[in-house]
Structure 1
Amino acid sequence: MFKKIHSNRDPRDTLYSELKKEFSVYVDKGNGAFKSLICGYPKFIFGLMIALLAASLILAVALHHKMVPPDKAAKVPKAQPAPVSAGFDNIMAAGNALKQTIRLRRQVDSITGKKTLTKTDSLLLLHDLDSLQHIRINLPH
């Protein structure tokens, strides 16, 4: 049932080399046709290139006002707190969040360590996991 399959494939053959063998004739014909077209009509190709660049420039300028987001100057700017107190407040908030996270993790670990969970354990676990998710989302950056 389980026989070893022997292959006569050359190990140096790769997918690229096989594709190259198969399609090189068509690629060479396409390269020849492209070169003859370029050499036969150089002024036309140059003019076409310039026309495409000009069309690209015109479209970029014409569509530029649609790509720019609406002006945010209409919103009332918030009063900026002093940088030192704002930084200290962020540090305090992060510390409190870390303390609460550690407390909740310990509680979750103690609940999940039990072999069987009661209904109150399940509800407490869901509440703690929701609190952890809320802390992670609202953590100051």
Structure 2
Amino acid sequence: MIKVAMTGVYVDDVARAHAFYTDVLGFETRTSMDLGDGVPFVTVGASGGAQPDLQLLLEPGQGPIAESYRRALYEAGIPCIVFSVDDLAAEHRRLSRLGVRFPHGPREQGPVLAAVFDDTCGNLVQLVQPKG
């Protein structure tokens, strides 16, 4: 069986992304190290033991390929990643109170309720809750 172990999100500032993904979104730090020459390697994951074998790599988004890709997704309004939540309305309220900007709030989108927020690091992120 093959499972997803890690996926990455290009960010324009790894330290700021790390703070946002942990302090605001509530992820926990899984790995934080310097690969040399000041290149950070930072992963986060769901807190409380949820999904212990799945990590999100906060990848430096500098460079012509990553920067163009990240900017194109953002300008097109396409989320770079999708996270699931149990209660979208509650999470939308919590994050809004923390100052998170939502280009679109909760609404029905096919089989899910969905909202999109700005992660402050160059990306749009979608939150989904299955309907029913």
For normalisation by structure 2, the TM-score amounts to 0.21
TM-score (norm 1): 0.20
Q: Choose 1 or 2 for highest CA Rg.
A: 1
Q: Which has the higher relative contact order, 1 or 2, with Cα contacts under 8 A spaced 6 or more apart? A: 2
Determine which structure has the larger helix proportion and give its number: 1
